[in-house]
Structure formats: C-alpha cells, structure tokens
Copies of this chain bind each other. A is one copy, B any other.
C-alpha cells in the first residue's frame, strides 16, 4: 500500500486586527504594533490543505481534489472570504486571529469533515513572507 500526500491550495481575502482582550490597550499596542490598528487591516490569505493517506487502487487518488476543494470552500473560505475575521467569524470573537490561531481554527474545522484515516496539515500564508504550518 503506497502512501502519498495531496495538497489543495485555496485563498480568501479578509480584514483582521491582532488584539488580546485580556490585555490593556497599551499592552496590545506595544505587543502588536501596527497590527493592532483598531480600524483593522487585511490580507490575501493563501491556504494549502495537505491530506496524507493510501493511494486508492481503484481511483488512483489519495483524495479527489475537487471534493477536497468543495469541503474547504463550504466550511472555510466561504465563511472567511471578504469578511472581518474579528467581527464576522464566530471563532475569532473570543480568539485573537494571529496566523497561528487562524491555522488552528481551520485545522479543527476541517478535521471533522475529512475521513479519519487521512492525516491533515494546514499551511496558511498571511503574506508571501509570513506563513504558518499546523500542526508542527
């Protein structure tokens, strides 16, 4: 049985600000600098979803990327795209949307929607120069 990983790349454009409500405004400004702008800023996020498992003999697939793309769109990008992560997305009303935390939320959202025998990893690019892999 041969194991491979299949990757599907999607994107979404969103506003956010970094802010920890448990800290004072002064502490937030010091910690996050311009990323703490109360009026928000935004990004073109690039999302790569990697699933690992056996290559099915009948289909020649680990996973059908069309189905994978539809799952990502329904549960992640349709909910995040052209949104304000802090204000419009339930999970970030109480969770600071750092790239790390957004990747964790995407992982936990998709984990329950994909077959349990497929390993799952998330790569999230906030910019071309800053990106996160979760889980490590």
- Chain A residues within 8 Å of B, Cβ to Cβ: 2-11, 13-16, 18, 20, 22-23, 31, 33-35, 37, 39-44, 50, 52-53, 55, 58-62, 65-66, 81-84, 87-88, 95-101, 103-104, 119, 127-136
Q: Which residues of B contact A96 (CB under 8 A)?
A: 60
Per a CB cutoff under 8 Å, which of B41, B44, B99, B130 touches A84? B41
User: Which has the most chain B C-beta neighbours within 10 Å: A11, A42, A50, A133?
Assistant: A42
Contact, CB under 8 Å: A20 / B59: yes
| A14 CA / B43 CA spacing, docked (Å) | 7
Q: Which residues of B contact A58 (CB under 8 A)?
A: 20, 22-23
**Contact A44 B127, CB 8 Å, known A104-B55, A136-B52:** yes
Q: Which residues of B contact A128 (CB under 8 A)?
A: 9, 44
Contact, CB under 8 Å: B82 / A37: yes
What's the nearest-Cβ distance from chain B to residue A44, in Å? Answer: 4
